[in-house]
Each structure stands twice: as C-alpha cells, then as structure tokens.
Amino acid sequence: MPDAVYKKIEVTGTSSTGQDEAIQNAIAKASQTIKNMRWFEVVESRGNIKDGKVDQYQVTLKIGFRLDG
C-alpha cells in the first residue's frame, strides 16, 4: 500500500430519531461532495429539548478522507 495523505473535516448531523441516524445523515450528506472518505470519529453529542422532551439529536463528527495525488 503506497503512502497517503489524509485530511479531516468537521460536520454535524441531526435527527429527530436518534444519534445513529444523525451520524448516518452527516456521512450521507458529506459523501455527496467528498471522495475517498475513510473514517469518522464522534467529537460531540448533544440535543435540543422541546416541551420537556428530546426534540432533536445533534452529533458532531470528524471525517477523514484520503487526498488524491
């Protein structure tokens, strides 16, 4: 395997269903414009409360991708 160079970006996915879906939403959206994604790490998890209940999950990810060239 040849040497490679990677870059990380930070994105936040949201979901009204749960944290897993928030992660999936963030990765799906990022994959529309970012090629060669290789890994993600959860750096923050939080949510929005409305009327005393969880209204929305928000998960911030760092996504690593390989640079071409």
How far is Cα 64 from Cα 39, in angstroms, rounded to an integer?
A: 5
What are 25-48's pLDDT values in tens digits?
999 999 999 999 999 999 999 999
In a domain, 28, yes or no: yes
CATH code of the domain covering residue 59: 3.30.1660.10
In a domain, 31, yes or no: yes
Find the mean pLDDT for residues 13-20: 98
In a domain, 60, yes or no: yes
Contact criterion met (CB below 8 Å) for 61 and 13: yes
Strand partners, 47: 57
In a domain, 1, yes or no: no
pTM (two decimals): 0.89
How far is Cα 54 from Cα 17, in angstroms, rounded to an integer?
A: 9
In a domain, 57, yes or no: yes
